Amino acid sequence: MNGNEDIRDGRRRSSSGNAFSGGRMSPEERLAMKGKKRILFICLGNICRSPAAEGVMKSIVAEAGAHGYEIDSAGIGGYHIGQLPDPRMRVHARRRGLELDHYCRQVKATDFDDFDLVIGMDDRNIRDLHVVAPSPEAEEKIVAMRQFFEKSNYYDHVPDPYYGEGDGFELVLNLLEEGCRNLFNAIEGR
């Protein structure tokens, strides 16, 4: 864990301020996801994790033949605005049949009007999103990606692979495939 979560009754609870637990969703939380089809994925620079999450989620939605989804990604920082995702992430994603053609952008306060869910990859992203959110209602849209991991998954965040090697990109894609599949099932009420 990242040191900012409280363990009680065997469940992780985030101290980041959102209403969701840090681990697997309860039935009530799953119900709260139903029908929320406008999704914005967030990471630090919008160059690795969040565009990969966008690509994975779009693939899952297309594979299911689902309609009415709006899926995008953005970064907390403006470091890579206008760039394609990291070439290493694009190569690893392409091996899985995903084409990451998103151009990096920075999250803005108006995104909270345009999206139902704003999903951060790690606790730092979640904290920064609470600063960007223009209202308490906007803050309620912030959810940690770990919320959609299986209970048996030992990760409590999506690690940033930017300074690492190829296995880090593969790990991120594995986590995102699991998490996005669970997110999709929750939205679809499965």
Catalytic residues: 43, 49, 160
CB 122 within 8 A of CB 134: no
Widest Cα–Cα separation across the chain: 45
CA distance 123 to 2: 8
CA distance 70 to 57: 10
DSSP letter string, 108-164: -TTHHHH-SEEEESSHHHHHHHHHH-SSHHHHTTEEEGGGGS-TT---SS----TTS
Q: Which two tokens stand for residue 147?
A: 């919320």
Which residues pair with residue 13 across a beta bridge?
6, 21
CA distance 99 to 29: 31
CA Rg, the chain, in Å? 15
CA distance 33 to 77: 27
